[in-house]
Protein backbone atom coordinates (compact mmCIF):
# COMPACT_ATOMS: atom_id res chain seq x y z
CA UNK A 1 0.00 0.00 0.00
CA UNK A 2 1.30 3.44 -0.95
CA UNK A 3 2.21 5.84 1.84
CA UNK A 4 0.93 9.32 1.00
CA UNK A 5 2.90 12.41 2.00
CA UNK A 6 -0.18 14.45 2.86
CA UNK A 7 -3.44 13.55 4.55
CA UNK A 8 -6.18 15.97 3.50
CA UNK A 9 -6.01 19.16 1.44
CA UNK A 10 -8.37 21.68 -0.14
CA UNK A 11 -6.45 23.23 -3.03
CA UNK A 12 -7.47 26.31 -5.02
CA UNK A 13 -6.42 26.07 -8.67
CA UNK A 14 -7.22 27.06 -12.25
CA UNK A 15 -7.52 25.23 -15.56
CA UNK A 16 -4.79 27.54 -16.80
CA UNK A 17 -1.18 26.61 -16.04
CA UNK A 18 -0.76 26.33 -12.28
CA UNK A 19 2.58 24.63 -11.77
CA UNK A 20 1.23 21.07 -11.92
CA UNK A 21 -0.07 21.51 -8.37
CA UNK A 22 -3.15 19.36 -8.97
CA UNK A 23 -1.14 16.54 -10.47
CA UNK A 24 1.43 16.69 -7.68
CA UNK A 25 -1.00 16.81 -4.78
CA UNK A 26 -3.41 14.28 -6.29
CA UNK A 27 -0.51 11.82 -6.53
CA UNK A 28 0.67 12.45 -2.98
CA UNK A 29 -2.46 13.13 -0.91
CA UNK A 30 -4.91 10.68 0.65
CA UNK A 31 -7.81 13.06 0.06
CA UNK A 32 -7.56 16.09 -2.21
CA UNK A 33 -10.39 18.49 -2.99
CA UNK A 34 -9.64 21.00 -5.77
CA UNK A 35 -11.67 24.20 -6.12
CA UNK A 36 -11.13 25.56 -9.65
CA UNK A 37 -11.74 29.31 -9.73
CA UNK A 38 -11.85 30.40 -13.36
CA UNK A 39 -11.59 33.92 -14.90
CA UNK A 40 -14.85 35.82 -14.43
CA UNK A 41 -15.36 36.41 -18.16
CA UNK A 42 -14.24 32.92 -19.19
CA UNK A 43 -16.48 30.24 -20.66
CA UNK A 44 -15.44 27.50 -18.23
CA UNK A 45 -17.48 27.24 -15.01
CA UNK A 46 -15.97 27.17 -11.56
CA UNK A 47 -15.94 23.62 -10.29
CA UNK A 48 -14.76 21.23 -7.61
CA UNK A 49 -13.11 17.83 -7.98
CA UNK A 50 -12.46 15.13 -5.39
CA UNK A 51 -9.47 12.77 -5.46
CA UNK A 52 -9.01 9.88 -3.06
CA UNK A 53 -5.59 8.19 -3.03
CA UNK A 54 -4.80 9.53 -6.49
CA UNK A 55 -8.10 8.53 -8.09
CA UNK A 56 -10.62 11.09 -9.38
CA UNK A 57 -13.89 10.32 -7.58
CA UNK A 58 -16.17 13.26 -8.34
CA UNK A 59 -16.55 16.47 -10.37
CA UNK A 60 -19.12 19.18 -9.76
CA UNK A 61 -19.67 22.46 -11.65
CA UNK A 62 -20.65 25.70 -9.88
CA UNK A 63 -22.63 28.59 -11.29
CA UNK A 64 -20.76 31.90 -11.45
CA UNK A 65 -22.50 35.17 -12.49
CA UNK A 66 -20.77 37.82 -14.62
CA UNK A 67 -21.60 40.63 -12.19
CA UNK A 68 -18.45 41.38 -10.21
CA UNK A 69 -20.09 41.65 -6.79
CA UNK A 70 -22.25 38.56 -7.12
CA UNK A 71 -19.36 36.66 -8.68
CA UNK A 72 -17.38 37.01 -5.44
CA UNK A 73 -20.44 36.28 -3.32
CA UNK A 74 -20.92 32.98 -5.17
CA UNK A 75 -17.21 32.19 -4.98
CA UNK A 76 -17.32 32.50 -1.22
CA UNK A 77 -20.65 30.67 -0.78
CA UNK A 78 -19.38 27.79 -2.88
CA UNK A 79 -16.22 27.73 -0.78
CA UNK A 80 -18.33 27.33 2.36
CA UNK A 81 -20.37 24.69 0.57
CA UNK A 82 -17.18 22.73 -0.16
CA UNK A 83 -16.08 22.95 3.48
CA UNK A 84 -19.34 21.49 4.74
CA UNK A 85 -20.10 18.92 2.02
CA UNK A 86 -16.63 17.60 1.25
CA UNK A 87 -15.14 17.54 4.76
CA UNK A 88 -16.54 16.26 8.02
CA UNK A 89 -16.30 17.92 11.41
CA UNK A 90 -13.69 15.37 12.53
CA UNK A 91 -11.33 15.79 9.60
CA UNK A 92 -8.22 17.97 9.82
CA UNK A 93 -7.05 19.54 6.58
CA UNK A 94 -4.98 22.27 4.95
CA UNK A 95 -6.45 24.92 2.64
CA UNK A 96 -3.99 26.20 0.01
CA UNK A 97 -5.30 29.49 -1.38
CA UNK A 98 -4.00 32.91 -2.28
CA UNK A 99 -7.01 35.20 -2.29
CA UNK A 100 -7.85 36.95 1.00
CA UNK A 101 -11.58 36.49 0.32
CA UNK A 102 -11.35 32.92 1.53
CA UNK A 103 -9.87 33.97 4.85
CA UNK A 104 -13.00 35.98 5.69
CA UNK A 105 -14.73 34.67 8.84
CA UNK A 106 -12.14 31.91 9.21
CA UNK A 107 -12.48 32.00 13.00
CA UNK A 108 -16.22 31.37 12.73
CA UNK A 109 -15.77 28.63 10.12
CA UNK A 110 -13.11 27.15 12.37
CA UNK A 111 -15.79 26.40 14.95
CA UNK A 112 -17.32 23.91 12.51
CA UNK A 113 -14.37 22.63 10.46
CA UNK A 114 -10.76 21.95 11.51
CA UNK A 115 -8.41 23.51 8.97
CA UNK A 116 -5.21 25.50 8.62
CA UNK A 117 -4.77 28.00 5.77
CA UNK A 118 -1.58 27.99 3.70
CA UNK A 119 -1.59 31.51 2.29
CA UNK A 120 -0.09 31.12 -1.21
CA UNK A 121 0.55 34.61 -2.63
CA UNK A 122 0.95 34.72 -6.40
CA UNK A 123 0.06 38.31 -7.36
CA UNK A 124 0.57 41.91 -6.35
CA UNK A 125 -1.66 44.81 -7.41
CA UNK A 126 0.06 48.22 -7.00
CA UNK A 127 -2.60 50.50 -8.49
CA UNK A 128 -4.15 53.33 -6.49
CA UNK A 129 -7.79 52.51 -7.16
CA UNK A 130 -10.00 51.92 -4.14
CA UNK A 131 -10.27 48.20 -4.96
CA UNK A 132 -6.49 47.76 -5.25
CA UNK A 133 -5.83 49.64 -2.02
CA UNK A 134 -8.46 47.58 -0.21
CA UNK A 135 -7.10 44.33 -1.69
CA UNK A 136 -3.55 45.11 -0.53
CA UNK A 137 -4.79 46.03 2.94
CA UNK A 138 -6.72 42.82 3.54
CA UNK A 139 -4.06 40.71 1.80
CA UNK A 140 -1.36 42.03 4.15
CA UNK A 141 -3.71 41.61 7.11
CA UNK A 142 -4.37 37.93 6.46
CA UNK A 143 -0.77 37.37 5.43
CA UNK A 144 0.48 38.70 8.76
CA UNK A 145 -1.90 36.46 10.69
CA UNK A 146 -1.21 33.29 8.67
CA UNK A 147 0.87 30.55 10.23
CA UNK A 148 1.94 29.20 6.83
CA UNK A 149 2.93 31.56 4.00
CA UNK A 150 4.15 30.77 0.49
CA UNK A 151 5.29 33.29 -2.16
CA UNK A 152 5.52 32.66 -5.91
CA UNK A 153 8.75 34.69 -6.19
CA UNK A 154 11.48 36.15 -3.99
CA UNK A 155 10.40 39.61 -5.13
CA UNK A 156 6.93 38.98 -3.72
CA UNK A 157 8.48 37.49 -0.61
CA UNK A 158 10.43 40.71 -0.05
CA UNK A 159 7.39 42.87 -0.79
CA UNK A 160 5.38 41.21 1.97
CA UNK A 161 8.26 41.09 4.46
CA UNK A 162 9.60 44.65 4.56
CA UNK A 163 12.36 44.13 2.02
CA UNK A 164 13.67 40.86 3.49
CA UNK A 165 13.43 37.41 1.91
CA UNK A 166 11.96 35.06 4.50
CA UNK A 167 12.91 31.40 4.27
CA UNK A 168 11.76 29.32 7.21
CA UNK A 169 9.99 26.00 7.57
CA UNK A 170 6.58 27.74 7.49
CA UNK A 171 7.27 30.76 5.23
CA UNK A 172 9.18 30.56 1.95
CA UNK A 173 9.26 31.09 -1.80
CA UNK A 174 7.92 28.23 -3.93
CA UNK A 175 7.83 28.92 -7.67
CA UNK A 176 5.88 26.94 -10.28
CA UNK A 177 7.11 23.43 -10.92
CA UNK A 178 7.31 21.89 -14.38
CA UNK A 179 6.66 18.46 -15.88
CA UNK A 180 9.48 18.06 -18.41
CA UNK A 181 8.84 16.61 -21.85
CA UNK A 182 11.45 15.70 -24.43
CA UNK A 183 11.59 17.97 -27.45
CA UNK A 184 11.79 15.62 -30.42
CA UNK A 185 11.73 18.18 -33.23
CA UNK A 186 15.08 19.99 -33.15
CA UNK A 187 15.38 20.91 -36.82
CA UNK A 188 15.15 24.70 -37.18
CA UNK A 189 14.96 24.80 -40.96
CA UNK A 190 11.45 26.27 -40.90
CA UNK A 191 11.64 28.35 -37.74
CA UNK A 192 8.36 28.86 -35.91
CA UNK A 193 7.68 30.89 -32.79
CA UNK A 194 5.04 29.97 -30.23
CA UNK A 195 2.86 32.17 -28.03
CA UNK A 196 0.74 30.44 -25.37
CA UNK A 197 -1.88 31.69 -22.91
CA UNK A 198 -4.19 34.61 -22.20
CA UNK A 199 -3.27 37.59 -24.39
CA UNK A 200 -3.05 41.11 -23.03
CA UNK A 201 -1.50 44.22 -24.54
CA UNK A 202 1.37 44.02 -22.06
CA UNK A 203 2.35 40.54 -23.33
CA UNK A 204 4.10 41.85 -26.44
CA UNK A 205 2.15 39.96 -29.11
CA UNK A 206 1.98 42.97 -31.47
CA UNK A 207 5.73 43.37 -31.15
CA UNK A 208 6.18 39.66 -31.86
CA UNK A 209 3.97 39.74 -34.96
CA UNK A 210 5.94 42.73 -36.26
CA UNK A 211 9.06 40.54 -36.35
CA UNK A 212 7.54 38.59 -39.23
CA UNK A 213 7.70 41.73 -41.38
CA UNK A 214 11.48 41.79 -41.09
CA UNK A 215 12.25 38.07 -41.08
CA UNK A 216 10.40 36.64 -44.08
CA UNK A 217 11.03 32.98 -43.26
CA UNK A 218 9.62 33.25 -39.72
CA UNK A 219 6.24 31.81 -38.66
CA UNK A 220 4.23 31.88 -35.43
CA UNK A 221 1.48 29.95 -33.66
CA UNK A 222 -0.62 31.95 -31.20
CA UNK A 223 -2.32 29.41 -28.93
CA UNK A 224 -4.36 31.57 -26.62
CA UNK A 225 -7.26 33.97 -26.35
CA UNK A 226 -7.93 37.67 -26.09
CA UNK A 227 -11.06 39.81 -26.18
CA UNK A 228 -12.70 40.40 -29.55
CA UNK A 229 -11.58 44.02 -29.79
CA UNK A 230 -7.93 43.09 -29.36
CA UNK A 231 -8.31 40.10 -31.67
CA UNK A 232 -9.74 42.33 -34.41
CA UNK A 233 -6.85 44.75 -33.99
CA UNK A 234 -4.26 42.00 -34.32
CA UNK A 235 -6.00 40.60 -37.39
CA UNK A 236 -5.97 44.03 -39.01
CA UNK A 237 -2.22 44.26 -38.45
CA UNK A 238 -1.66 40.72 -39.75
CA UNK A 239 -3.46 41.56 -42.99
CA UNK A 240 -1.80 44.98 -43.32
CA UNK A 241 1.66 43.45 -42.91
CA UNK A 242 0.88 40.63 -45.38
CA UNK A 243 1.86 37.88 -42.96
CA UNK A 244 -1.45 35.99 -42.90
CA UNK A 245 0.03 32.79 -44.35
CA UNK A 246 2.66 32.66 -41.59
CA UNK A 247 0.37 33.24 -38.60
CA UNK A 248 -1.86 30.65 -36.94
CA UNK A 249 -4.18 32.47 -34.54
CA UNK A 250 -7.53 30.72 -33.84
CA UNK A 251 -8.17 32.81 -30.69
CA UNK A 252 -8.94 29.80 -28.52
CA UNK A 253 -7.16 27.47 -26.15
CA UNK A 254 -6.13 24.17 -27.70
CA UNK A 255 -6.56 20.92 -25.76
CA UNK A 256 -3.28 19.20 -26.70
CA UNK A 257 -0.41 21.65 -26.58
CA UNK A 258 2.17 18.90 -27.09
CA UNK A 259 0.69 18.13 -30.51
CA UNK A 260 0.12 21.73 -31.53
CA UNK A 261 3.65 22.85 -30.59
CA UNK A 262 5.52 19.90 -32.14
CA UNK A 263 6.60 22.05 -35.10
CA UNK A 264 7.43 25.10 -32.94
CA UNK A 265 10.94 26.03 -31.84
CA UNK A 266 10.92 29.07 -29.53
CA UNK A 267 8.49 30.23 -26.85
CA UNK A 268 7.96 33.99 -26.78
CA UNK A 269 7.31 36.05 -23.63
CA UNK A 270 8.01 39.69 -24.52
CA UNK A 271 6.39 41.21 -21.45
CA UNK A 272 6.46 44.91 -20.81
CA UNK A 273 7.84 45.64 -17.36
CA UNK A 274 4.94 46.07 -14.92
CA UNK A 275 4.03 44.89 -11.45
CA UNK A 276 1.94 42.03 -12.78
CA UNK A 277 4.99 40.28 -14.21
CA UNK A 278 7.67 41.81 -11.98
CA UNK A 279 6.36 40.02 -8.89
CA UNK A 280 5.02 36.91 -10.63
CA UNK A 281 6.33 33.62 -11.98
CA UNK A 282 4.60 33.69 -15.39
CA UNK A 283 2.92 30.39 -16.17
CA UNK A 284 3.53 31.01 -19.87
CA UNK A 285 7.27 30.64 -19.38
CA UNK A 286 7.01 27.38 -17.44
CA UNK A 287 4.60 26.02 -20.08
CA UNK A 288 7.22 26.69 -22.78
CA UNK A 289 9.83 24.92 -20.65
CA UNK A 290 7.59 21.87 -20.24
CA UNK A 291 7.12 21.69 -24.00
CA UNK A 292 10.86 21.80 -24.62
CA UNK A 293 10.85 25.25 -26.23
CA UNK A 294 13.84 27.54 -25.56
CA UNK A 295 12.47 30.82 -24.20
CA UNK A 296 12.73 34.35 -25.54
CA UNK A 297 11.90 36.74 -22.70
CA UNK A 298 12.35 40.34 -21.66
CA UNK A 299 13.92 41.00 -18.27
CA UNK A 300 10.51 41.64 -16.72
CA UNK A 301 10.18 38.74 -14.29
CA UNK A 302 12.40 36.98 -11.78
CA UNK A 303 12.36 33.78 -13.84
CA UNK A 304 14.54 35.52 -16.46
CA UNK A 305 17.50 35.05 -14.11
CA UNK A 306 16.99 31.29 -14.09
CA UNK A 307 16.72 31.20 -17.89
CA UNK A 308 20.05 33.00 -18.12
CA UNK A 309 21.64 30.81 -15.44
CA UNK A 310 20.77 27.56 -17.22
CA UNK A 311 21.11 28.94 -20.78
CA UNK A 312 17.51 27.93 -21.45
CA UNK A 313 16.83 30.86 -23.77
CA UNK A 314 17.73 34.49 -24.35
CA UNK A 315 16.97 37.68 -22.40
CA UNK A 316 16.19 40.49 -24.84
CA UNK A 317 15.63 44.21 -24.82
CA UNK A 318 12.40 45.65 -26.16
CA UNK A 319 13.65 46.58 -29.62
CA UNK A 320 13.28 44.49 -32.77
CA UNK A 321 17.04 44.30 -33.50
CA UNK A 322 17.74 42.76 -30.09
CA UNK A 323 14.93 40.24 -30.49
CA UNK A 324 15.89 39.20 -34.03
CA UNK A 325 19.53 38.84 -33.00
CA UNK A 326 18.47 36.54 -30.15
CA UNK A 327 16.23 34.48 -32.46
CA UNK A 328 19.09 33.93 -34.91
CA UNK A 329 21.44 33.02 -32.04
CA UNK A 330 19.03 30.38 -30.77
CA UNK A 331 18.42 29.08 -34.29
CA UNK A 332 22.15 28.60 -34.95
CA UNK A 333 22.84 26.95 -31.57
CA UNK A 334 19.53 25.20 -30.99
CA UNK A 335 20.82 21.96 -29.43
CA UNK A 336 22.82 24.02 -26.90
CA UNK A 337 19.64 25.77 -25.72
CA UNK A 338 17.71 22.49 -25.64
CA UNK A 339 20.37 21.08 -23.29
CA UNK A 340 20.18 24.24 -21.17
CA UNK A 341 16.40 23.88 -21.03
CA UNK A 342 16.78 20.32 -19.76
CA UNK A 343 18.90 21.65 -16.86
CA UNK A 344 16.27 24.31 -16.18
CA UNK A 345 13.53 21.67 -16.16
CA UNK A 346 15.56 19.36 -13.98
CA UNK A 347 15.77 22.09 -11.34
CA UNK A 348 12.04 22.90 -11.47
CA UNK A 349 10.81 19.32 -12.00
CA UNK A 350 7.73 19.26 -9.78
CA UNK A 351 8.38 15.72 -8.57
CA UNK A 352 11.67 16.75 -6.95
CA UNK A 353 11.14 20.51 -6.51
CA UNK A 354 7.95 20.40 -4.42
CA UNK A 355 8.56 17.69 -1.75
CA UNK A 356 11.24 19.47 0.32
CA UNK A 357 9.46 22.81 0.00
CA UNK A 358 6.03 21.51 1.05
CA UNK A 359 7.47 19.33 3.80
CA UNK A 360 5.73 21.44 6.45
CA UNK A 361 2.39 20.04 5.25
CA UNK A 362 3.41 16.46 5.95
CA UNK A 363 3.07 16.78 9.69
CA UNK A 364 -0.19 16.44 11.56
CA UNK A 365 -1.99 19.70 12.30
CA UNK A 366 -4.29 20.99 15.01
Please give the full DSSP string across 276-326, using - where no structure is assigned: HHHTS--HHHHHHHHTT--EEEETTSTHHHHHHHHT-EEEE-SSHHHHHHH
Whether residue 257 is predicted with pLDDT greater than 90 in this model: the reply is: no
* CA-CA-CA-CA torsion sign (97, 303, 274, 227): negative
Report the candidate in 169, 138, 139, 132 with the shortest Cα–Cα distance to residue 156. 139
In sequence order, which residues have a C-beta less than 8 Å from that of residue 297 and are 6 or more positions away? 269, 270, 271, 285, 303, 304, 307, 313, 314, 315, 316
Does residue 259 contact residue 287 with C-beta atoms inside 8 Å?
no
Task: Give, to the nearest 10 degrees, the angle between helix 283-290 and helix 334-348.
Answer: 110
Whether residue 251 is predicted with pLDDT greater than 80 in this model: the reply is: yes
Q: Which helix (H) or strand (E) holds 92?
A: strand 92-97
Residue 36 phi/psi, 5-degree rounding, is: -85, 115
Tens digit of each residue's pLDDT (9 = 90 or more) over 160-205: 999 999 999 999 999 999 998 766 666 677 899 999 887 887 778 8
DSSP state of 59: E
Per-residue pLDDT at 173: 97
Whether residue 348 is predicted with pLDDT greater than 90 in this model: the reply is: yes
Report the candidate in 200, 122, 117 with the shortest Cα–Cα distance to residue 155. 122
Tens digit of each residue's pLDDT (9 = 90 or more) over 224-250: 888 888 899 999 999 999 999 999 999
CA distance 71 to 45: 12
Could you tell me the end-to-end alpha-carbon distance of the chain, in angstroms, rounded to an integer? 26
Q: Measured between alpha carbons, how far is residue 199 from residues 35, 213, 224, 234, 363 in Å?
A: 24, 21, 7, 11, 40
Residue 364's pLDDT band (cuts 50, 70, 90):
low
Instruction: Tell me the sheet residues that pair with 171.
Output: 149
Residue 312 phi/psi, 5-degree rounding, is: -95, 10
- Return the half-sphere exposure (C-beta side, CA atoms, 13 A cut-off) of residue 180: 19
Per-residue pLDDT at 265: 93
CA distance 212 to 193: 10
Instruction: Tell me the sheet residues that pair with 9.
Output: 32, 94
Whether residue 294 is predicted with pLDDT greater than 90 in this model: the reply is: yes
The domains found in the chain, sorted by start residue, are 6-177+350-361 (3.40.50), 192-348 (3.40.50.2000)
Amino acid sequence: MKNFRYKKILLFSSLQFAGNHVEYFSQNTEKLVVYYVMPRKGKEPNMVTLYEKGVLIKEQAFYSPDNLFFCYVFLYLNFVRILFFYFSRKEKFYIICGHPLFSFFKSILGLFRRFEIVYFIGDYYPGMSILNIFYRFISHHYHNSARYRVYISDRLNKKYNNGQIVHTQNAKTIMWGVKPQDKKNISTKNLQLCFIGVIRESHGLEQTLALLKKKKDLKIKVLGTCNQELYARYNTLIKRWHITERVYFPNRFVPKLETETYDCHIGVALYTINAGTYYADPGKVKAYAELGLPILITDAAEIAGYIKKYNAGEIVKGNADSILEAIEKIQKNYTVYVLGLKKFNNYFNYKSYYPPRFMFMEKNIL
